[in-house]
């Protein structure tokens, strides 16, 4: 399941620039899009809530470093960009492989925060490239089921 923080409870809402304090989240699976009000108090609580919803992919335009480190072993995180974009256009970019998957090496390039070096191993460039190719293939399969292509 894919989660996207969004500004409103409309099906084609624009993505929110907030994560923990986003008003709503769009949850997307092969059955469709559901917009759910975020009643969590902070980013850590949102992460636990997303995990309870079986989210395995997060697409966001902002994520704090503590939240990113907590997510990176369980949920794939993609950078949505820093421009306003609506859910349908964002999902199209995701399906075409145009979003960057975040890891320890590139996190600070997108969010301008430095990660502390910890025990998690960094992915080398070749592995990252293969991972992005595999994710792109999986996205095409997921979205073809969703859009009945």
CB 123 within 8 A of CB 131: yes
pLDDT of 108 reads 87
User: pLDDT digit string (tens) for 63-106?
Assistant: 988 999 998 888 999 999 988 999 999 999 999 999 999 998 88
CB 29 within 8 A of CB 1: yes
Structure tokens at 113: 């925060």
Could you say which residues of the chain have pLDDT below 70? 113-149
pLDDT of 109 reads 86
pLDDT of 124 reads 45
pLDDT of 73 reads 84
Strand partners, 19: none
> Which domains are present in the chain?
2-147 (3.30.420.130)
> What's the pTM?
0.76
């Amino acid at each position: 399941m894919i989660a996207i923080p969004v500004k409103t409870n409309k099906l084609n809402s624009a993505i929110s620039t907030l994560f923990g304090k986003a008003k709503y989240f769009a949850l997307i699976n092969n059955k469709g899009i559901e917009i759910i009000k975020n009643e969590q108090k902070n980013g850590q609580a949102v992460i636990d809530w997303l995990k309870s919803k079986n989210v395995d992919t997060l697409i966001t335009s902002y994520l704090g470093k503590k939240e990113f480190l907590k997510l990176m072993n369980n949920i794939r995180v993609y950078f949505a960009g820093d421009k306003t974009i609506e859910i349908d256009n964002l999902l199209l970019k995701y399906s075409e492989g145009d979003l960057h998957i975040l890891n320890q090496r590139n996190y600070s390039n997108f969010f301008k925060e430095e990660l502390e070096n910890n025990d998690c191993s960094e992915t080398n460039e070749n592995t990252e490239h293969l991972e992005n190719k595999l994710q792109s293939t999986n996205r095409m399969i997921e979205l073809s089921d969703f859009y009945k292509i």
